[in-house]
Structure 1
Amino acid sequence: MPENKSIEGIKACVFDAYGTLFDVHSAVGKHRHRLGDLADQVSNIWRTKQLEYTWLRSLMGHHADFWQVTQDALDFAFDMHSINNPDLRRDLMDAYLKLDCYPEVPEALSILKSRGFNLAILSNGTPAMLDAAVKNSGLDDLIEKNFSVEDAGIFKPDCRVYRLAVDGLKVRSEEIVFQSSNAWDASGASAFGFKVAWVNRFGQSEERLPGKPDVEIRNLMALPDVLK
């Protein structure tokens, strides 16, 4: 997938939040000293189970919001490593509301906004979680709208979630470029009809799923050069 391919006819840039704008591992990073050698394992299991629970709940028809799912995933990670520390659990959940954004995010979004693109988030997160993350990273003046799956009652990659951005921004699906670091989310958005820039921060392999990203970039600073 060439990184220098361009995308034309775009009116809005829509971003996944967790793992794309915000570093999901920064919550554990703030309390690494309290977890010691288990820090990376806990953080990775927490994230893996968080995603798994969104897919499984969607398939089972038993929706719970992302805040609950995030708590359940952390509890699983703690149980897996026999950690019983209510204070640490509380502090990690609080830290999830204050995730760090990736270093290039403010500058990249500022460039895109200066070029007249509408900027929005489309995320599994609850409205309160997204508002907190955006405010904590100082992106309030850049992000115009937060679209939460709570308005669809089901998680990504259900097409009803991607439809929220089309209806909310009042543009056609092909006039939206969607950015995600999650390969499965990039595939889902492409299958729906978005143009997609896959932000492959972590050197993932391409998914064997319907829908292919239009471009692959390493971080968001490459996005302005892609949009013509």
Structure 2
Amino acid sequence: MDTPLFAFSLHDTLVDTQDVAVTLALRLDETEASAFARRWREKQLEFAYRRGLMGAYADFHRLQREALEAVDRERGTRLGEESKQALLAHCRRLPAFADASAALTRLRGLGVRCVAFANASRYDIELLLDNAGLALLLEDVVSAEEVRRFQPDAALYAHLRARTHSRPEATWLVSAEPAEIIGARYAGLRAAWLQRDPQRAFESWGDPPDLMAPDLDALATQCAGWFAREHPH
């Protein structure tokens, strides 16, 4: 049997992008800070999808800056340059979700290979993982910059398999973003969706995920049972 490989999408899966609301709250009220943080993340994904369709790759940190400028204009918040720089710096030190470390440790104990897989540059991924205390729990980092493609481009999932020497049926994407799950399934990979927001339904098009869980702890529990059923002794 092939050793399962789990590629963890970084943002909103292992690290909490909404933590930037803490920095935003120094300039905005709490409600506006939370709304701004959500919209900023949406814009980052939107710009990545657009650039992917255009074939106009750019470093994801640049996309974060472009999205920040767009949301600042859209919401009329008029953030100063110092505030913007503080927010971009915060993006490089996002905290891990409380369930991340224990779940990765448990999955590794099940024999699962665990790697980080993200649209960010390798530098930013490694910096985030170091700051979040997760670097030693992941065997490798696979970055979009290596092929200059963003998720959910099939070329990036093919690169993931080539880099990790894993077969499609043994390669899993773990993500909280439905579009990434659909992209991975379309590319022939397996996928596990984290429904961290209980109010968020999975998108109604494309192949559904192989596994769904509310958090990483529940995913690890499901995986233990799933692997036992798929590969009985």
| TM-score of the aligned structures, taking structure 1 as reference length | 0.92
**1:4 corresponds to:** none
Give, in whole Å, the separation in 1 of the partners of 2:170 and 2:201. 27
What is the one-letter code of the residue matched to 2:172? V
Write out per-residue CA displacement over residues 47-92 of structure 1, whole angstroms, 9 at most, x where no aligned residue.
Answer: 1111110111111221111111010001111112331311110100
Greater mean alpha carbon deviation, residues 75-84 or residues 86-95: 75-84
Pick from 28, 32, 53 the counterpart of residue 25 of structure 2. Answer: 32
Aligned length: 221
Greater mean alpha carbon deviation, residues 75-84 or residues 174-183: 75-84
Within the alignment, does 1:94 sit opposite 2:85 as a pair? no
**2:41 corresponds to:** 47
Q: Identity of paired residues, percent?
A: 25
Per-residue deviation, 1:115: 2.4
**1:5 corresponds to:** none
Per-residue deviation, 1:10: 4.9
Within the alignment, does 1:142 sit opposite 2:114 as a pair? no
Give, in whole Å, the separation in 1 of the partners of 2:40 and 2:220. 32
Secondary structure in 2 aligned to 1:201? coil
Secondary structure in 2 aligned to 1:198? strand
Unaligned runs of at least 5 residues, structure 2: 228-233
The answer to whether the 8 A contact 2:23-2:86 is kept is no
Per-residue deviation, 1:9: 5.8
**Structure showing greater relative contact order (alpha-carbon pairs closer than 8 Å, 6 or more residues apart):** 1
**1:216 corresponds to:** 212
What is the one-letter code of the residue matched to 2:217? M
Within the alignment, does 1:199 sit opposite 2:194 as a pair? yes
What is the one-letter code of the residue matched to 1:90? Q
Pick from 106, 109, 121 the counterpart of residue 104 of structure 2. Answer: 109
The answer to whether the 8 A contact 2:185-2:209 is kept is yes
Per-residue deviation, 1:99: 0.4
**1:160 corresponds to:** 155
Secondary structure in 1 aligned to 2:116? strand
| TM-score of the aligned structures, taking structure 2 as reference length | 0.90
In angstroms, what is the RMSD of aligned CA positions?
1.5
